[in-house]
Amino acid sequence: MALILITLMVILAAGPTWSAPSIIQMRSEKKTLLATDELYCSSWRFTVETNDAGAWTRVPVRCVDFLKDYITGDLYAAELEAVAANAAEYARAIGISGDGRDAWVFDIDETLLSNVPYYAGHGFGSETFNARAFNEWVELAEAPAIAPGLRLYKELQELGFTVFLLTGRDEYQRHATERNLMYAGFNNWEKLILRGKADDGTPATVYKSAKRKEIEDAGYIIHGSSGDQWSDLIGFAVARRSFKLPNPLYYVA
């Protein structure tokens, strides 16, 4: 009763052009919004990209078509561009010293290289992750560049940043990874950091934080970090600014 009164008061106070508060309340109370796939899957994507969803293992089955349309359509590409534009704008404004100590840390998969061709053949994230099949794909070294990532990478180097590549891929995949990066147009990174034996079983957030800490301890300032997973960006030794790229295909803890 109090809610209805409030809603009425707001409508009266706000004038004839405004009626959303009642919509927000009444539609939500019916709990029907998440019944449509479009709204359910759009909202699911929101919760995944903000990390509200926490750990998840598979794209909901009802969202497979939605995800396919998104990831092969204009919106995913536009979001990648928008995030790269944010990063470039920030990087240009820093005014770095030029002594080589100004660093940027990039993740690789879904940040510089796209595994969408692989996931297109594996249910767009709706299937259980198949490590063997994915590692075979990595060995092919055919992942295309994410174009806005490549442009950002090159611009950062022109601005004088030292680029570190920090990936959850294993040390045994170093050669294939280097080959793929070069084929896709990436060059002159300072260091490519992969998971060694000692990092086995360490959660990505801890592994990546520890490696960033080593970079800092070597005298670098990590101005920026780009990654498609929150575990690329949070933890300790965090970059001054972090840039979260979209990725609703999989989650890395």
Residues of this chain, 133-192, that bind a second copy according to CB under 8 A: 140, 142-148, 183-185
- We find the least distance from the C-beta atom of residue 176 to a second copy, in angstroms, to be 14
- We find the least distance from the C-beta atom of residue 33 to a second copy, in angstroms, to be 4
- We find the least distance from the C-beta atom of residue 110 to a second copy, in angstroms, to be 11
CB-neighbour burial class of residue 105 (10 A; exposed 0-12, middle 13-18, buried 19+): buried
- We find the least distance from the C-beta atom of residue 222 to a second copy, in angstroms, to be 16
Near a second copy by CB under 8 A: residue from 59, 63, 67, 71: 71
d(CA 192, CA 210): 15
**Which residue, 80 or 193, has its beta carbon nearer to a second copy?**
80
Exposed e or buried b for every residue in 163-197, given b needs 16+ CB within 10 A?
bbbbbbbbeebeebbeebbeebebeebbebbbbee
10 contact partners, CB below 8 Å, separation of at least 6: 18, 21, 22
Segment interacting with a second copy, rule: CB under 8 A, options 19-27, 99-107, 163-171, 203-211: 19-27
CA angle 226, 186, 149 (to 5 degrees): 35
| Residue 253 makes contact with a second copy by CB under 8 A | no
Segment interacting with a second copy, rule: CB under 8 A, options 10-18, 171-179, 188-196, 200-208: 10-18
